[in-house]
Amino acid sequence: MKIPLVDLRAQYSTIQEDIEAAIKEVMLSQRFILGPQVKTCEDAVAEYSRSSHAVGVSSGTDALLICLMAEGIGPGDEVITTPYTFFATVGSVARIGATPVFVDINPVTYNLDTSQIASKITSKTRAIIPVHLYGQMADMDPVMILANQHGLTVIEDAAQAIGAEHNNQRAGSIGHYGCFSFFPTKNLGAAGDGGMVVTNDDVRADRLSHLRVHGANPKYYHALTGGNFRLDSLQAAVVVAKLRHLDDWTASRQRIAERYNRYFSECGLNVADFSQCSYTLPKPSAKKTTVILPKANTDRHVYNQYVIRVSSRDDIRKALQDKGVATEIYYPVPMHLQECFAYLGHKAGEFPQSECAAAETLALPIYPELTDEQTSYIVDCIRDYFLG
């Protein structure tokens, strides 16, 4: 059986008429840059994320970058974030000349260990970027308490978590900014690059809208130095067409995650509670097997990824590949060990939870169209690896 990590063709086949109608409308209008579809998309995403404003931008990466620019963060400033994330989170901080300051992760959620943030705050700290990894929100309450105490800006990296909830609040709506990505493989994906920033602050929203067009206000008059961060109308139209289906797709992802959990339990491989496992997982054998499953610790986990944890990750990945099952590693090298950040002076062992996760996590296929038969096959392949 051949099972891709994500099957965008399967999704497209169910909404083809909607997508093609949306694209046709843009083509007929010939308004490709910041056309009416962008405003419609912004209003829809703002409402969905329970935020007052949304500003469409060119990518999730540029969403992070423009927020840092809007706050005037730059050389000499520090930004606290996680080393276990996609490169854009930390790369955006480095691009504006600020210094990334890392906090290790909680091994259950893979999000920031909020108990460690306070110790990293200095007179140079300007912002905190919590990442809502894999579709589950970070614990935002202590983040916001610390931010309010120290006058810090909070930029939620919600690229993988649109629609996720924490204490009945939606991803992106709690901090001063929330950043979304519409990369095609995201839960809500465009037909190319695209992103969105949401905020509940009128002044910040206005500043973002100017920064995305080179800081112009009005056109050709520049009080600010911005960039070309515009969301184009074609991508906005695709996002709007897909947004109507997002809650149904999320429910399907949640059902598939539950199905995975059940199958792993039935195979006797499931250790759902990380606290039951040693920090360094045992080498698997026919008699001693351990598969740590994702645990939902917030109100609404949207499962952008379904990530298991196994000590023999690379061997299991190869075994699945041989059986036709695609997987991915999110992420094999933590940010503090990336070559481009060597100037920060970090060494292996400084952030052990992030390093352990990087060595042991494996993302299995999850998308709304994944069938029960496919899910069962994937778990059977892992069981066969362990038990023969």
Question: Is 3 a member of any domain?
Answer: no
Same-domain check for residues 233 and 262: no
Question: Is residue 354 within a helix (H) or strand (E), and if so which, with residue range?
Answer: helix 352-360
Q: In one letter, which amino acid is 28?
A: L
Is residue 48 scored above 50 in pLDDT?
yes
pLDDT for residue 228: 97
Query: Can you state the angle between helices 313-322 and 372-387, rounded to 10 degrees?
Result: 120
- Residue 314 in any domain: the answer is yes
pLDDT of 287: 34
Give the pLDDT score at 269.
81
The H or E element containing residue 355 is: helix 352-360
- Amino acid residing at 292: I
Tell me, yes or no, whether 336 and 198 share the same domain.
no
Among 214, 243, 272, which residue terminates a domain? 243
Domain count, the chain: 2
Q: Are both 233 and 89 inside the same structural domain?
A: yes
pLDDT greater at residue 272 or residue 200:
200
Average pLDDT, the chain: 94
Q: What is the CATH number of the domain that holds 40?
A: 3.40.640.10
Question: In the chain, at which residue ranges do the beta strands (DSSP E only) sit?
Answer: 53-57, 78-81, 99-102, 125-129, 153-157, 165-166, 169-170, 177-181, 195-199, 270-271, 291-292, 306-309, 361-364
Judgement on whether residues 58 and 182 belong to the same structural domain of the protein: yes
Confidence of residue 271 (pLDDT cuts 50, 70, 90): low
**Angle at the Cα of 340 from the Cα atoms of 335 and 343, rounded to 5 degrees:** 95
Inter-residue contact 174 to 201 (CB < 8 Å): no
CATH assignment of the domain containing 354:
3.90.1150.10
Q: Is the predicted pLDDT of residue 290 greater than 80, yes or no?
A: no
Residues 223 and 272 in one domain: no
Percent of the chain with pLDDT over 90: 90
Could you tell me if residue 369 is inside a domain?
Answer: yes
Give domain status of residue 71, yes or no.
yes
In a domain, 1, yes or no: no
Final residue of a structural domain among 201, 224, 243: 243
Domain boundary among 243, 277, 296: 243
- Averaged over 252-275, what is the pLDDT? 84
The DSSP string of 273-298 is -GGGS-SSPPPP-SS---EEPP---S
Q: Is residue 2 part of a domain?
A: no
Which stretch of 136-145, 214-223, 261-270 has the lowest confidence by average pLDDT? 261-270
Domain match, 134 and 261 both? no
Q: How far apart (Å, rounded) are the C-alpha atoms in residues 233 and 30?
A: 9
Same domain, 207 and 265: no
Please give the model's pTM, rounded to 2 decimal places: 0.95
Of the candidates 155, 194, 164, 17, the one whose C-alpha atom is nearest the C-alpha of residue 73 is 155
For residue 225, is pLDDT > 90? yes
Domain annotation covers residue 342: yes
Question: How far apart (Å, rounded) are the C-alpha atoms in residues 80 and 70?
Answer: 17
**Averaged pLDDT for residues 14-29:** 97
Per the structure, the complete domain to which residue 319 belongs is given by: 246-387
